[in-house]
Amino acid sequence: MSTVTLETTLVCPACGHNAPETMPTDACQYFYECGGCGALLRPEAGDCCVYCSYGSVPCPPVQQDGDCSC
């Protein structure tokens, strides 16, 4: 069983602002408001959540199973 990392850094594609975040283990996050420019981030096509699209580490289900179960 591999260790799941819950800490990630989200980077806004609009302004480059980055913010450390703790990912939930029981839900996907579909929306995230950038603390720098206020842009509402949504997952890119093919990604299950904002962590997989803009985070330094993918979400816990992807880390654990290679697929998102959300």
Half-sphere exposure of 48 (CA within 13 A, CB side): 13
User: What pTM was computed for the model?
Assistant: 0.87
Q: How far apart are CA 6 and CA 18, in angstroms?
A: 16
63 pLDDT more than 60: yes
pLDDT tens digits for 1-47? 578 999 999 999 999 999 999 999 888 899 999 999 999 999 999 99
